[in-house]
Amino acid sequence: MKSGRIIKSTGSWYIVFLDDGETISCRLPGKLRLEELDQTNPVAVGDRVGVDIQSDQTGVIQDIQKRRNMITRLATHGRRGQQIMAANIDLGILVQSVKRPEFKTGLIDRFLITCEANDVPPLIVINKMDLAKDGDKNAVQDLKIMYDKLGYQVVAISTIDPNLIQDLRNIIEGKTVTLMGPSGTGKTSILNVLNPSLNLTTGEISNFSNKGKHTTTFSELITISPGTFVVDTPGIREFGLVDIDAYDLSNFYVEMKDLRMQCRYYNCTHIHEPGCAVMEAYENKLINPSRYLSYLHIFESLNK
Ligand X SMILES: Nc1nc2c(ncn2[C@@H]2O[C@H](COP(=O)(O)OP(=O)(O)OP(=O)(O)O)[C@@H](O)[C@H]2O)c(=O)[nH]1
Stretch of 29-37, 84-92, 187-195, 264-272 lying at the interface with Zn ion (CB under 5 A) = 264-272
Alpha-carbon span 295 to 220, nearest angstrom? 32
Q: Per CB under 6 A, does 5 bind ligand X?
A: no
Q: Which of 239, 238, 233 is nearest to 217 (CA)?
A: 233
Query: How crowded is the C-beta side of 289, counted as CA atoms within 13 Å?
Result: 1
Report the distance separating Cα 163 and Cα 204, nearest Å: 24
46 contact, one of Zn ion, Mg ion, ligand X, none, CB 5-8 Å limit per kind:
none
| 216, 219, 250, 294: residue in contact with Mg ion (rule CB under 5 A) | 216
Q: Is 187 in the site for ligand X (CB under 6 A)?
A: yes
Neighbours of 160 (CB within 10 A): 12
Confirm or reject binding of residue 256 to Zn ion (CB under 5 A). no
State the DSSP code for 39. Answer: B
* Residue in 24, 113, 231, 268 binding Zn ion, rule: CB under 5 A: 268
Does position 278 interact with Zn ion (CB under 5 A)? The reply is yes
* Piece in contact with ligand X (CB under 6 A), picked from 36-44, 47-55, 135-143, 158-166: 158-166
Which string of x and - marks every residue 86-125 that binds ligand X (by CB under 6 A)? Answer: ----------------------------------------
List the one residue from 5, 128, 187, 270 that touches Zn ion (CB under 5 A): 270
Centre a 10 Å sphere on the Cβ of residue 167 and count the other Cβ atoms it contains: 13
Cα–Cα distance measured from residue 62 to residue 45, given in angstroms and rounded to the nearest whole number: 16
Task: Confirm or reject binding of residue 1 to ligand X (CB under 6 A).
Answer: no
Q: Are 244 and 113 in contact (CB under 8 A)?
A: yes
Whichever of 81 and 203 has its CB closer to ligand X, that residue is 203
3-state secondary structure (DSSP) of residue 74: strand
Q: Which does 263 bind (CB under 5 to 8 A by kind): Zn ion, Mg ion, ligand X, none?
A: Zn ion
278 binds, among Mg ion, ligand X, Zn ion, none (CB under 5 to 8 A by kind): Zn ion
How far is residue 32's CA from residue 34's CA, in Å, rounded to a whole number? 5
**Dist. CA 257–CA 36, nearest whole Å:** 30
CB of 199 to ligand X, least distance (A): 12
Beta pairing partners, 8: 15, 220
Contact 39, 84 (CB under 8 A): yes
Residue 259 near Zn ion by CB under 5 A: no
Residue 25 binds to ligand X (criterion: CB under 6 A) = no
Q: Is 287 in the site for Zn ion (CB under 5 A)?
A: no
**Nearer Cβ to Mg ion (122/182):** 182
Question: What span, in angstroms and rounded, lies between the C-alpha atoms of 78 and 188?
Answer: 26
Binding site for ligand X (CB under 6 A): 127-128, 130-131, 158-160, 183-189, 202-205, 212-216, 234-235
Binding site for Mg ion (CB under 5 A): 187-188, 215-216
